[in-house]
Structure formats: structure tokens, C-alpha cells
Amino acid sequence: MRDLLGPAQAGAALNSAEEDLVQTIGQTAQKREEVGVSRQTMDALAAIGWLAGNANAATYRERAEQLAMADASVWFCWLQHQSPLALLKGSGNSALQQRWLAALQGGRALGATAFAHLRRPGHPNPIAHHCSNGWLLNGRLDWVTSWDLADVVSVQLRTSAQLDAEVLAVLIELKTKSKCPEGLTAEAPLALMAMGGTWSRPVRLERCLIQEESVISVVPIQSWQAADQRKTRFANPAAFGLIRAALGDLHQQAESRHMLCWHQQLNALAKEAANLRHACYTAADDPSQLSDPEHHKLRAAALELAQRCCRTALLSHGGAGMRAGHASGRRLREAMFLQVQALIPPVQNYLIQGEG
């Protein structure tokens, strides 16, 4: 399938081994949605260095786009790995770093994460209480992606039910599922409209004891929120991966059916996408040039364009696009998933009001 956009920045193009792996992932995406992302797929990404977490901004974006273009479920599992890796890099717990950091960077261990509940308004849930030998965790994690794949999961939660309670980050080892901490129960994988292959499970915490040696950090909630808001104001590169895949699909349909009007629509969408991607990444590289509302509007525009491109590609297939397992339908559902994932209120408002 032709890639009408190509890499956004010079020096970000893939080498032959990377291209081969991404192509293989794309060819088997439908099976993966049915049976789940395999550890072998994540190990293959580790083998080409994509789990190390040391890529510059341009390379990181290209990898995210390529994975989302091939299979957004793999992209999402890959993304989960980045969070415990980044937390460990910034941790003051040197013993925990020595135990897990090199393994996560080398891909010998795979990470998952849970922190989206910290964005919810109202009283904290779940919460942790300090005790004589560590922390007792209570509550529910509604969504932990990569649970069945991961060796460790970083969990961030509040240290009390108070609105100003600090954020505790701990690393829970899942290397041997039979040795999960007592009081931690993973429920059945979620039946999802999209990204069903990501092994996403709810997890219950009932007086789950985590030793002090597993604590990554404790930070003020205000600091956590400020850092989260800085990250979530930028456009998601995965949106442009879906755009690239959808445009390639539409190009293939326009060529095979000799539809001039589709070519015209394709050219207009490709131009819009190239301009928007340039604007989004320029803004992310120099955030001070735009206000937060302007950043939010760019993020919303990328999400909206991804859905529009995926919808157009599906329509080009006519009735065939409605068949279960059709790649165009899968991408449209993935584009909708991106509109929900990590969606902060300002971006949500733009999308609902149609002002993205």
C-alpha cells in the first residue's frame, strides 16, 4: 500500500529490518485483533531496539506513526511500555533501577502502566495508605493494557482520599503470575469495540501490600497534573499513522476503480494532513510559540482528521467495508479509540463542538 505522506522529518526513515517488521505486523493485524498481541511481536520490536526508550523526538514520532499505521493495538502495547521506563529513569530508587531498568530498555522485560484514573475529577480512587512495611493499595484500576504480556506494571495512585494527596508510583512485578501480590486480582479482559487485542483488564486492589523497595516516587499532585497537562496538549503521532494508512487504502481504491473524484479527494486530504502534521510537530518542538488552547485545537484537529480519513477510506470500499474483519473498519474504530484515549476536557470540547 502506498504511503502518501512518508516520514515527517529528515532522518526518521526506517532501515530495512524495521521496514520488514512493520510490514509483517501490518499483514497480520486482523489475526492479532482476534487473538491478541503476542509477546513474540513485542520481542521482535525489542530486537530492533524499539523498546529502549532512547529515541529522539523525530524517531519516536515515526515509530509511533509506523506502528499505528500497521496495527494500532501493537502501537498501544508499545506505548504502555514507555511509561514505567520513563518513571524508572527519573526514580531515586537506585536498587529498583538496577533490578529493572536495563531489562526494560533491552526488551528482556515488558512494562505496562496504570494512571489514567488520576485525571478523573472527584475523590481519588484507588488510593494507597502508608503502613509499617510499605503501602496498602485499595480500589480498582478500570483499565490496565498489556496485562497478559507484561513483566511489570507501574501503578500511580493517590496517597489518601484527600483532594490534595500526593501521587505514589510503584512498580508491581508480574513476572510469575502465580506470585502476584496478595490482594491484587485481575478480571477478565475487557470486550472492547476497538483495540481488543491489547490484553486490557480491570484490576481490583484489596489491601494489596507493596513494599517500600518497590516505590518509584512520591510527588505532589500539582506537579503530576502540570506534567500530564504538558504532555497531553500535543497531537498524538498515532493519529497520523492512521491517516497514512487510510490515505494509502484510499489511493489503492481510487487506482483500482479509476475514480477521478476519489483521486481529487485523496489529494486534498493528503495536503491537509501534511500541513497539519507539520504544524503539530513544529508546535510540539517549540511549545512556547502557541497558547494551550491553540495546542489543544491542533490535537483535536489531528484526531478529527484521522477519523475523517479512515471514514473516507471505508466508504470507498462500499458494502465490502462493512464486513467483520475488514481493515478499513478496524482503522475507523481505532481512530475513534484515539479520540477517547487520554482525552482532556479542552480537546473533548473541540471535538464535540466540531471546532477541531
Q: Which residue, 3, 76, 64, is CA-closest to 33?
A: 76
Contact 141, 154 (CB under 8 A): no
Q: What per-residue confidence (pLDDT) applies to 356? A: 44
Same domain, 206 and 254: no
C-alpha distances in angstroms, 17 versus 13, 81, 134, 209? 12, 21, 45, 43
Given the C-alpha cell 520488514, which residue does it identify?
20
Asked if residue 210 and residue 138 are part of one domain, the reply reads yes
What are the C-alpha distances in Å from 177 to residues 53, 150, 151, 182, 216? 26, 10, 9, 11, 21
Per-residue confidence (pLDDT) for residue 321, from 0 to 100: 75
Query: Are 206 and 245 found together in one domain?
Result: no
Of 219, 239, 270, the position where a domain reaches its end is 219
How many domains, the chain? 2
Answer with the one of 174, 189, 219 that is the final residue of a domain.
219
Answer with the one of 197, 219, 241 that is the final residue of a domain. Answer: 219
Q: Are 233 and 202 found together in one domain?
A: no
Do 125 and 165 form a contact (C-beta atoms < 8 A)?
no
Give which of 238, 248, 275 is closest to 61, Cα–Cα: 238
214 lies in the same domain as 260: no
**Domain ranges, residue 305:** 225-353
Q: What is the DSSP string of 17-35?
A: HHHHHHHHHHHTHHHHHHH
CA distance 192 to 214: 31
* pLDDT at position 342: 63
240 and 275 assigned to the same domain: yes
Instruction: Report CA 216 to chain centroid distance, whole Å.
Output: 21
Distance from C-alpha of 22 to C-alpha of 63, rounded to nearest angstrom = 9
Residues 190, 200 contacting (CB under 8 angstroms)? yes
User: Chain-centre distance of CA 116, in angstroms?
Assistant: 12
Residues (pLDDT < 50) of the chain are 356
